[in-house]
A = this chain, B = another copy of it.
């Protein structure tokens, strides 16, 4: 297997020698700017008054509760100011992602200094009063947090939970050929699984049409209390590791401030030129290939420039610098003195003018306008977002002559819809999936865009491999990386679609949580323009894991989703092809949500014409008249359902019940939009109690056949009038290798169990029902025996007539 990396052996374009990259004057200025950043970072942790130290520091100037994290701040601002130099020199279009935990002080400082903060938050003006307000609000009740939260201008990556900085960075770089995404990675963060595999993202960056990602791995050496692994292995191992990941590592290591400025200036410039070289070569040749991109290993002391030693303990360059290096400052005069000395070591009087504004000599170092990383519109992607061009989803409808008579793979027409969306939006729409787009029957998309592949090719790839260096379908067996890419892509103003295996979407539970929180917070900020929704198709669902067994059966993701803000979460369970198309169309147009769509990929019965599907999806929940025989009157029982297989079994149960009890009045209700079940006071999609009661009655038994764990339906409906008569069936952790029907039977969501449930709950049937129940139980056993004998379900199980 030969290396196909471009630039592996290319001579590095070293513009200038490390020791003279910066002139004395440049060095003095850049260091002064950095001192200003560091002063602000320390100030926001400690001060509530006397922000410019115009008077001696007193205890009452210090916050009551000292919060915030100093440890990673100065290396972040160090990287930031050096990027600023090159943005100006080369007119770079750059955004900045801060991976290290709690690193906001190192970012907020430069963001404030370049004026963006004051533009967005006028009370945090560039003067003494503004600086004081800026200090006070940091990690203060009602203020802002110690991460790069949505409130931070220029941020698309909060980093509250660690591990996603590199994948977010790549998502931002895709299809932004002009963009340089600088991402500082923490060495704590680098120990997480998500981060460890995301280094492989370099194999998915097309140097012609994509921008570049420049990771700066900051080895500050420590986590909360421990050394980090990567800071305690040999240089050789580190070098091997990143070469092994496909990068070209550059090392900037030390603690001497002047030397480090020179090294960083020179190395960063080398990297920028190396990136330009790769891009120019690829773009000139027109042939995209995988490149060995540069990355920087920046080894600095934790809490660099902070107190060296406190109470006899080493602080700078130690885990003791992680959070607040000097505690008890209000009570301990010696610590207060140390704090004052530390703050004064940055010589704020040289940095800020009389009014408290950064002196103009230093202001000139920052880029201006949208070249400021804090004001780059890519980091407020809604500003750049263009509405998706959508073909008419009705054109992908399948014909449904008679309901419940024909079967089709529910996701296949969606694949054709996605294909044409990709065609109409060739450079701002991507499809993500962990090696499952073909398995998930979405492979029509490959007719327009292949799977991106920049690693080596083999001859057999030509036979159905569907690989291309130009593809925009991204597949890697890492849900973390895909989700991170997708989020980065959306947050920079683009669109996409992610399909994944239901059981294994739990791999990204925490990423879902974080993105939901990001969206909920962003929605509060008027200056953040809405970004496209994150559309997540959950497929290969529990009910068709009859062959993969118990580990592949887990519909519990929805239980997590409903915990998050109702303002950002949506859940849909379309039962067939046309409802899925209608739902997908709706989701793809939306902004600001996480849309979770549950739909299996296998063949399923089809129920609705496109017109019916649109009406049904618009309502979100409705009575299926054709399956009901209550004709507008009060029914004896409501048979409700949500999800493809549960719908099929519920309908089959209705057929069975009609055979046995022709006079039984059954109302059949199908739920597509799960939040319709919730009171309207709790979710914007919730039905009013009146509407809910009119569908589900106030006092009749309801049998609800649900796709997921049954308790979720109770959790959503416990306030409803008729909740006491609600009986829910769903997955209850019963399953191994089964046929589809047997798996349904094991969990009692099958037609026979449902029909028996009805008999047990409708008073008029209870006397007459004993015989019917016996017949139904025998049918059920008969089906199971057939399955255990033949390994498949009886063929007639999927051949039955629409009720009525």
Contacts and interface: CB of A to CB of B under 8 A. Distances in A.
Interface of A: 1-5, 48, 63-65, 67, 102, 139-147, 149, 158, 160-163, 188-189, 191-198, 200, 203, 223-229, 231-246, 313-314, 317-319, 435-439, 451, 453, 455-458, 460-461, 463-467, 475-481, 503-504, 506-507, 509-510, 513-514, 517, 520-521, 546-552, 554, 556, 559-560, 562-565, 709, 711-712, 714-715, 718, 723-724, 733, 736-739, 742, 787-788, 790-792
B158 A551 contact: yes
Nearest to A451: B226
B709 A563 contact: yes
A548 B191 contact: no
B191 A193 contact: no
A739 B787 contact: no
Given A65-B791, A192-B477, 13 more contacts: A3-B233, A139-B737, A141-B737, A144-B737, A146-B549, A160-B549, A227-B461, A229-B455, A234-B456, A503-B513, A564-B733, A711-B718, A714-B714
B244 A229 contact: no
A240 B247 CA distance: 11
A55 B160 CA distance: 65
B718 A191 contact: no
A222 to B, nearest CB: 9
Nearest to A145: B549
A714 B1 CA distance: 59
A467 B510 contact: no
B191 A227 contact: no
Contacts of A64: 790-792
Nearest to A549: B145
A703 to B, nearest CB: 16
Majority secondary structure, A binding face: loop
Nearest to A191: B477
Contacts of A788: 141-142
Contacts of A478: 191-193, 196
A551 B226 contact: no
Contacts of A738: 141-142
Contact of A460 (B141, B233, B314, B550): B314
B507 A521 contact: no
A145 B193 contact: no
A160 B548 contact: yes
A313 B563 CA distance: 48
Nearest to A204: B229
Contacts of A225: 435-439, 466
Given A160-B549, A791-B140, A453 B227 contact: yes
Nearest to A188: B477
A-B pairs, top 10 by smallest CB distance, nearest first, are A241-B244, A160-B551, A193-B193, A145-B549, A240-B244, A3-B234, A196-B197, A506-B510, A232-B455, A191-B477
B552 A563 contact: no
A463 B142 contact: no
Contacts of A231: 1
Contacts of A228: 477
A513 B517 contact: no
Given A64-B791, A240-B244, A548 B451 contact: no
Contacts of A436: 224-225
A142 B737 contact: yes
B193 A481 contact: yes
Contacts of A229: 200, 203, 455, 476
14 contacts: A3-B234, A141-B787, A158-B551, A163-B507, A196-B478, A224-B438, A318-B460, A506-B560, A514-B551, A554-B563, A556-B563, A563-B733, A714-B714, A724-B724
A552 B193 CA distance: 19
A486 to B, nearest CB: 15
Given A141-B739, A142-B788, A438-B224, A517 B550 contact: yes
Nearest to A521: B550
A453 B222 CA distance: 13
Given A317-B460, A737-B139, A562 B711 contact: yes
A240 B711 CA distance: 50
A457 to B, nearest CB: 8
Contact of A241 (B245, B455, B503, B547): B245
A560 B563 contact: no
A193 B197 contact: yes
Contacts of A476: 191, 229
A240 to B, nearest CB: 4
Contacts of A2: 234
Contacts of A314: 460, 463
A196 B365 CA distance: 40
A521 B550 CA distance: 9
B193 A233 contact: no
Contacts of A237: 3, 243-246
A161 B479 CA distance: 12
Contact of A435 (B141, B226, B245): B226
Contact of A191 (B197, B243, B787): B197
A227 B142 contact: no
Contacts of A551: 145, 147, 149, 158, 160-161, 514, 517
A67 to B, nearest CB: 5
Given A234-B3, A718-B723, A552 B160 contact: yes
Contacts of A189: 477
Contacts of A564: 733
A465 B709 CA distance: 46
Most buried by B among A141, A143, A240: A141
Contacts of A243: 237, 240-241, 244
B509 A67 contact: no
A143 B737 contact: yes
A436 B188 CA distance: 12
Contacts of A792: 64-65
A63 B225 CA distance: 58
A161 B504 contact: yes
B163 A193 contact: yes
Contacts of A513: 503, 506, 554, 556
Contacts of A234: 1-5, 456
Contacts of A481: 193
A291 to B, nearest CB: 13
A478 B514 CA distance: 17
A521 B735 CA distance: 10
Given A313-B464, A560-B556, A733-B564, A550 B145 contact: yes
Contact of A548 (B3, B145, B193, B463): B145
B196 A3 contact: no
A713 to B, nearest CB: 10
B456 A233 contact: yes
A241 B158 CA distance: 29
A466 B521 CA distance: 39
Given A742-B141, A788-B142, A480 B227 contact: no
A709 B559 CA distance: 11
A507 B506 contact: no
A259 B4 CA distance: 28
A146 B559 CA distance: 28
Nearest to A719: B714
